[in-house]
Amino acid sequence: MTWGGMILPEDHMYRWPDYYDWTSEGLDGDLSYYADLAMKVGGPVLELGCGTGRCTLGIARHGLDVVGIDRESIMLQQAARKAEALGLAHSCRWIQGDMSQFELDEQYPLVVIPYRSFLHLMTPREQLDTLSCIHRHLKDDGILAFNIFVPHVRHMTEEDGKYLYRGSFPIPGSGSRVEVYDGLQFDHFNQHAFVIRYYERFDSQGRTEERLRTRFSLRYIYPAEMDLLLRSSGFEVCNRYGGFQREPFGPDSDELIIEARKADSL
């Protein structure tokens, strides 16, 4: 199985959808932002890197049809189970595929890439191929919306080679909890971040039930570089925000939310 042009390792984080759901709560306000945008633009909505469907289902709850694409079949299976349990299966279509080389028979008024999933594209070529695919699948008056974190060199330097505690998360319906730790390494020449993520599951008495060592990687992108990638792919940025409440984007922002349209539609 491939991931980001590479063989997906057996210990990759996305091979463990339950742990992903228990510990990946999203970013503050991101679900409301994408759902509100979808209601304004209308459906159907195409989501790339949909994972287990957190945002997909959040949009579908508002009566919109959503198509979710993800590389990892086990994540999509989890998403489909959740959609069925919520009575939303009729509104959701799940497709296993690569966001950099998908072909569908439809164009969409809104394409979204939530939760920094664009950063899992590990080369500029993959990033450009993805934007080219989106351009072909976006209606002429459609919107592309996505978010990435803003890399701050000082923070990355402080975290490089460190082992960081990410939090303790309850497992719904049980007294158990999962604690998350990350080991970080950066390759600043290629703008790559490599993360070893440890999950440790404890019962209500504090006894270890399971411990997993997983990993994932990403390529971080600077804001000016992201603008260039979009322009090179036929997009123009129409809005940039520093938070999901549409706060202005500036030098101190930690998150970059972009809304873009086809350049020839402006």
Residue 253's SS3 state is coil
Q: How far apart are CA 147 and CA 113, in angstroms?
A: 7
Q: How high is the pLDDT of residue 62?
A: 98
Question: Does residue 135 surpass a pLDDT of 50?
Answer: yes
* Same domain (yes/no): 34, 126: yes
Q: Say if 66 falls within a structural domain.
A: yes
Q: Say if 5 falls within a structural domain.
A: no
**Mean of the pLDDT values across residues 190-194?**
97
Residue found under tokens 């209606």: 139
Q: How far apart are CA 172 and CA 145, in angstroms?
A: 31
Q: How high is the pLDDT of residue 265?
A: 61
- Taking only the tens place, the pLDDT of each residue in 71-104 is 999 999 999 999 999 999 999 999 999 999 999 9
41, 144 contact by CB (below 8 A) = no
Q: How far apart are CA 136 and CA 115, in angstroms?
A: 23
Local confidence band at 1 (pLDDT 50, 70, 90 cut-offs): very low
Local confidence band at 221 (pLDDT 50, 70, 90 cut-offs): very high
Q: Say if 29 falls within a structural domain.
A: yes
Q: How far apart are CA 134 and CA 110, in angstroms?
A: 10
How many whole angstroms from its chain centre is CA 227?
Answer: 19
219, 122 contact by CB (below 8 A) = yes
Local confidence band at 192 (pLDDT 50, 70, 90 cut-offs): very high
Question: Does residue 7 surpass a pLDDT of 70?
Answer: no
Distances, alpha carbon 212 to alpha carbons 31, 119, 176, 181, 261, in Å: 28, 24, 15, 11, 41
- Residue numbers of the domain that contains 94: 17-150+221-262
Local confidence band at 11 (pLDDT 50, 70, 90 cut-offs): confident
Local confidence band at 6 (pLDDT 50, 70, 90 cut-offs): very low
* Same domain (yes/no): 86, 192: no
Residue 200's CATH number: 2.20.25
Local confidence band at 206 (pLDDT 50, 70, 90 cut-offs): very high
Q: Say if 229 falls within a structural domain.
A: yes
Under 8 Å CB-to-CB from 164, ≥6 apart: which residues? Answer: 181, 182, 183, 184
* Same domain (yes/no): 130, 254: yes
* Same domain (yes/no): 54, 133: yes
* Same domain (yes/no): 139, 246: yes
Local confidence band at 264 (pLDDT 50, 70, 90 cut-offs): confident
Q: How high is the pLDDT of residue 10?
A: 65
